[in-house]
Structure 1
Amino acid sequence: MWSVSKVYGSGAQSVTALNNMTTSFRAGTFTAVMGPSGSGKSTLLHCAAGLDRPTSGKILVGDVDLSTLDETQLTLLRRDRIGFVFQSFNLVSALTAEQNVALPGRLAGKAPSREQVNAALAEVGLARRGGHRPSELSGGEQQRVAVARALISRPAAVFADEPTGALDTKTSRDVLALLRNIVDRHQQTVIMVTHDPSAAAYADRVLLMADGRVTDELYGPFTAESIATAMANRQEQPC
């Protein structure tokens, strides 16, 4: 991302969500994005993933400049090169875990093989649960299905928006450890928005945001306590 701004509305009613922001995400690393409500962290994720267009600036996914793509091309890029994991899982209730993992490929006319689907589910610890529907799975298992769905195409990056927000503490740790393991084993790039220092501690780097800008960068290894302290110190600094 280079000099990216995102403004909603116009005139006196306009809101600047991203303010001339420049940052990058190195391949094969795990980045957590943190900040108070309204700091721009979700807008950052949406623009970087091609879900929303910035008002100005440049965003690259690999060597592709998103500003040069029309809506159809953006859709294809998100399908082929971007993975998503959301707080609410976003699984289709009528489909089994296997069918949910395979669904994006099927819709794109590139249905994965049964072996690929089984391997993706095994990767997230659900080798024996592929025939179960979401209602037959725990919250943590549903989120693991969502992770498998995001990873099956081996995307350039996975964007996770509060992926543990609907999970209890133990299940959250399991999902975060899974993401950490996937980064380490497969050099997968993961960018995660979170409000939780305990979740951010699984990352290699933490971006702290305020008022649409990155105000600090932390590099691991670190603990939840060290992240919380850095956030508190940042908030106490005068504007």
Structure 2
Amino acid sequence: MDETVRLRCVRRTYGTGAGAVTALDDVTIGFAAGTFTAIMGPSGSGKSSLLQCAAGLDRPDSGSVVVAGVELTGLSEKRLTLLRRESIGFVFQTFNLLPMLTAAQNVALPARLAGRRPDRAAIARALAEMGLAGRERHRPSELSGGQQQRVAIARALVTRPAVVFADEPTGALDSGASRDVLAKLRDLVDTQRQTIIMVTHDPVAAAHADRVVFLADGRLVGELTAPTAETVAARMTRLELAAC
């Protein structure tokens, strides 16, 4: 199966000398096209660093990162910005919507910032895919938290990126809204072969993925396929006890 994202022997250390912290320690992992992967681990395990390096938001000290067939190592900031704009979508815990703009205008914002005319049909399609048809003119204050997050996902999808990185996308939502957002992400994988890589601390969220990858102390320490909330929670409990 083709891989949309590949990390090989990636190391990332923050700080110097005695205070240096190794966030990623020789990590090698691939993410197949059209799959949903959850990344989990105890606090400080390196999961956010893995996402940031894989998404081109941070540069590893050594190793290789390939996204959509492009080697990120050595790219200029300008080319890296263009790659993120065209091939990568981002969804975060905070929705990052501008309150004075409508849902459609928020989805159009990346195109406007890039100096391009927004594609109205693509914007309407992205919002409809998130169950927000008819909400195009609503501002964030007129939407629920779950609906705001779905606007943020539509914004990430409007360019048809090769991969969507989601960092705790349900962390600010109640359980009902979380289920709704996760169901939408799952549907994107199943119906459109969207590649999604999600960092989460929630076993219920992780159970929506095809695979759960576990990290501890900056290293890969295992994975689960066809996960359930129970199997994920059990694995996380063992990791957290080992970290004590």
User: If the length of structure 1 is used for normalisation, what is the TM-score?
Assistant: 0.96
Task: State the partner residue of 2:237.
Answer: 232
Query: C-alpha separation between the residues in 1 aligned to 2:164 and 2:63?
Result: 22
1:55 and 2:61 aligned: yes
The residue type equivalent to 1:188 in the other structure is: Q
AA aligned opposite 1:29: T
The whole-number CA distance in structure 2 between the counterparts of 1:185 and 1:68 is 35
CA shift, 1:164, in A, is 0.2
Q: Deviations over 1:16-46 (max 9, x none)?
A: 1101111010010000000111000001000
Partner of 1:152: 158
Equivalent residue runs for 1:1-239 within 5 Å: 1-220=7-226, 222-236=227-241
| Unaligned runs of at least 5 residues, structure 2 | 1-6
Q: Which amino acid aligns with 2:110?
A: P
**1:155-181 per-position Cα deviation (integer Å, ceiling 9, x unaligned):** 010000000000000110000000000
- C-alpha separation in 2, matches of 1:237 and 1:10: 27
Q: Give the match's secondary structure for 2:48.
A: helix
d(CA) in 2 for partners of 1:192 and 1:238?
22
Deviations 1:20-79 (A, max 9, x none): 111010010000000111000001000100000001110000221101201111111110
Q: In 2, Cα distance between the equivalents of 1:160 and 1:51?
A: 13
Note the alpha carbon deviations across 1:120-149, whole angstroms, 9 max, x for none.
111000011110111111100100000000
Structure 1 portions without partners, runs of 5+:
none
Name whichever structure is richer in strand by fraction. 2
Question: SS of the residue aligned with 1:232?
Answer: helix
What number of residue pairs does the alignment pair up?
A: 238
Distance 1:184 1:173, change over 3 A: same
How far is the alpha carbon of 1:15 from its aligned partner?
Answer: 0.8
Aligned-partner Cα distance in 1 for 2:68–2:85: 15
CA contact (8 A) 2:40 2:213 kept: yes
Distance 1:18 1:234 in 2: 17
TM-score, normalised to structure 2, is 0.95
Percent of aligned pairs sharing the same letter = 63
